[in-house]
Amino acid sequence: MQNGKLLIIDDNQSVLKALNIFLQYEFEMVRCISNPNQISYEFQKTGFDVVLLDMNFTAGINTGNEGFYWLNEIKKISHKAEVVMFTAYGDVEQAVRAVKEGAADFVLKPWDNEKMTVTLKAALRLSEAKKELTDLKNKQIGLKQQLNRRKEMIVGTSAAMHKIMELVNKIAETDVNVLITGENGTGKEIIATEIHSLSNRKDELMVTVDMGSIPETLFESELFGHKKGAFTDAIEDRTGKFELANNGSLFLDEIGNLSFNMQSKLLVALQNRQITPVGSTKIIPIDIRLISATNCQIDDLVASGNFREDLLYRINTIHIEIPPLRDRLEDIDTLAEFFLKKYAQRYKREKLTLNLSIINKLKEYHWPGNIRELEHSIEKAVILSDGIKIKPDDILFKPARKISKQLPQTIEEMEKQMILNALDKQDGNYSAAAEQLGITRQTLYNKTKRYGI
């Protein structure tokens, strides 16, 4: 099968004619020229894959300098085209030098047709491989840009949030580790994404890991990777999150849920800046920007001995505390309008508006679920509204938790009720509720997810 476009440059017309006769059956296209000054023009017309280039063009001059010059010119014109030098026996040393300077290979005169074909076809395969690699890199860049595409970014216009965004802009271009704290739904991941998007690592991945959902037995596999056969369910090699985030950012969400043992393993990886996949002896160096987040009072966890103080120092070079929505009610106007526009477009309700009475109602609510709950409330209002204005009755708030007085019928119902009771008694403090129940904070976190609490 003929493929590839070949450009032959030689000042001997007999040589050009002979090469064209047999090579036209080997390539999709063969173009022969005797004047190297035409190279640029020929490349403008055709994107050649391979160039067969003579080393000398001026009668009586055999230095090969002309070949070196035109080799460099071709490389400037096209980084994808592969150049094969064409030279006499006496110029072999020059041809070897040309290969060192970027030529794919060289062919000696007089040539053997079979060897000539093999050499040019090898150069063609090299050119095609380079194109595939370039395409792959471009796709990889596009994928990273798509994955790192900045989420619809709005956190509010209050003085508190303005101060936070000033800090974000100040630290983003550094590689300093950042700890983001705040209640569930306050926008910790949005802040983490913004830090990455403004950093020097923005063209690389930001890999997010929910630390609260990782079982302790799979912690090392999830973060450091594993080799096939390392344990019963390791049916193939797996790349860990640290390696995936190499040269980019690693966002460890709910880091306060880690057990003491998991904290130790994480600390070692961060200190040594290297990991070893489970079942492997290969040490992999890592270069990441660490961003962590938690909704718990991490200083209290340190004080109670449930979180390593040295790990805390490692992750919170810069600490960003995001206040709950109830403490920055002036942001509700901006956030509500943003979510209205977002969901009005999604559900084809572009004419919908919010009036002052709606805003006042929103500001009177205490928002235990913070921005996430506000977003869900606006989305439901967009769906339920009938006219072009959202009415107060269209805004449905999350009902306060009620302690059931009915006797639970199953063990699961009993467990769920006990968790609800503990969370209510401890005002939503997961660490205190877990201590009351006699379980770890991670276990409590997993159970609340299971029961939809």
Q: The CATH number of the domain where 87 resides is what? A: 3.40.50.2300
Residue 151 lies in a domain: no
pTM of the model: 0.61
pLDDT of amino acid 227? 87
Residue 342 lies in a domain: yes
* Residue 246 contacts residue 289 (beta carbons within 8 Å): no
Question: ω into residue 110 within 30 of 0, thus cis?
Answer: yes
Residue 364 lies in a domain: yes
pLDDT of amino acid 282? 85
Together in a domain, 424 and 336: no
- Average confidence (pLDDT) over 95-100: 80
Together in a domain, 173 and 286: yes
Together in a domain, 297 and 380: no
Together in a domain, 70 and 218: no
Residue whose token pair is 């005169």? 109
The tokens describing 358, both together, are 């709606």
- Average confidence (pLDDT) over 435-444: 82
- Average confidence (pLDDT) over 50-54: 93
| Interval 270-292: pLDDT, tens | 999 999 999 988 899 999 999 99
pLDDT of amino acid 138? 63
Q: What's the CATH number where 357 sits?
A: 1.10.8.60
**What are the phi and psi torsion angles at 293 (to 5°)?**
-150, 150
C-beta contacts of 106-109 below 8 A and 24+ residues apart: 107/52, 109/15
Amino acid at 18: A
- Average confidence (pLDDT) over 130-142: 70
Within the chain, how many helices (H) and strands (E) appear? Answer: 18, 14
Together in a domain, 337 and 362: yes
Please determine, for residue 63, whether its predicted confidence score (pLDDT) is greater than 70: no
Q: What's the CATH number where 205 sits?
A: 3.40.50.300
Interior CA angle at 390 toward 384 and 392, to 5°?
A: 95
Show the DSSP H helices in 78-158 as ranges: 92-100, 113-147
pLDDT of amino acid 403? 45
**Whole-angstrom distance, CA of residue 353 vs CA of residue 340:** 8
| Interval 137-186: pLDDT, tens | 765 665 665 555 545 556 678 999 999 999 999 999 999 999 999 998 89
Please determine, for residue 344, whether its predicted confidence score (pLDDT) is greater than 80: yes
Parallel, antiparallel or unpaired: strands 289-294 and 178-181? parallel
Packing angle, helices 13-23 and 113-147, rounded to 10? 70
Please determine, for residue 260, whether its predicted confidence score (pLDDT) is greater than 80: yes
Together in a domain, 331 and 317: no
- Average confidence (pLDDT) over 358-380: 91
Residue 399 lies in a domain: no
Residue 146 lies in a domain: no
Average pLDDT of the chain to the nearest whole number: 86
**Whole-angstrom distance, CA of residue 417 vs CA of residue 404:** 8
Q: Which contiguous run of DSSP H or E holds residue 7?
A: strand 5-9
pLDDT of amino acid 420? 86
Q: Which contiguous run of DSSP H or E holds residue 320?
A: strand 318-321
Q: What percent of the chain has pLDDT over 70?
A: 90
Together in a domain, 361 and 308: no
- Average confidence (pLDDT) over 440-444: 80
User: What residue numbers bound the domain in which 295 lies?
Assistant: 159-321
**Whole-angstrom distance, CA of residue 339 vs CA of residue 349:** 12
DSSP 307-318: S-HHHHHHH-SE
Report the domain count for the chain. Answer: 4
| Interval 189-228: pLDDT, tens | 999 999 999 999 998 889 999 988 888 888 999 999 998 8
3-state secondary structure of 278: strand
**Whole-angstrom distance, CA of residue 404 vs CA of residue 252:** 36
Interior CA angle at 327 toward 326 and 333, to 5°?
A: 65
Which of 268, 291, 321 represents a domain boundary (last residue)? 321
3-state secondary structure of 415: helix
Q: Report CA dihedral (247, 253, 259, 260) to the nearest 10 degrees.
A: 50
Q: What's the CATH number where 444 sits?
A: 1.10.10
**What are the phi and psi torsion angles at 2 (to 5°)?**
-80, 130
Together in a domain, 295 and 337: no
Sign of CA dihedral 210, 211, 213, 219: positive
Question: Who wins on pLDDT, 66 or 370?
Answer: 370
Q: Which contiguous run of DSSP H or E holds residue 31?
A: strand 29-33
Please determine, for residue 60, whether its predicted confidence score (pLDDT) is greater than 60: no
Residue whose token pair is 């084809």? 348
Q: How many CA atoms lie within 13 A of 152 on its CB side?
A: 7
Please determine, for residue 59, whether its predicted confidence score (pLDDT) is greater than 80: no
Residue 154 lies in a domain: no
**Whole-angstrom distance, CA of residue 145 vs CA of residue 126:** 28
Together in a domain, 260 and 185: yes
Sign of CA dihedral 362, 366, 370, 373: negative
Q: What percent of the chain has pLDDT over 90?
A: 49
Together in a domain, 351 and 363: yes
Together in a domain, 167 and 316: yes
Chain center to CA of 366: 36
Together in a domain, 25 and 100: yes
Please determine, for residue 319, whether its predicted confidence score (pLDDT) is greater than 90: yes
Nearest Cα to Cα of residue 74 among 17, 7, 133, 15: 7
pLDDT of amino acid 409? 64
Question: Who wins on pLDDT, 1 or 209?
Answer: 209
* Residue 380 contacts residue 338 (beta carbons within 8 Å): no
- Average confidence (pLDDT) over 410-416: 80
Please determine, for residue 296, whether its predicted confidence score (pLDDT) is greater than 70: yes
Please determine, for residue 445, whether its predicted confidence score (pLDDT) is greater than 80: no
**What are the phi and psi torsion angles at 284 (to 5°)?**
-110, 115
Which of 140, 169, 198 represents a domain boundary (last residue)? 140
Q: Report CA dihedral (339, 343, 345, 346) to the nearest 10 degrees.
A: 150
Amino acid at 128: E
pLDDT of amino acid 407? 56
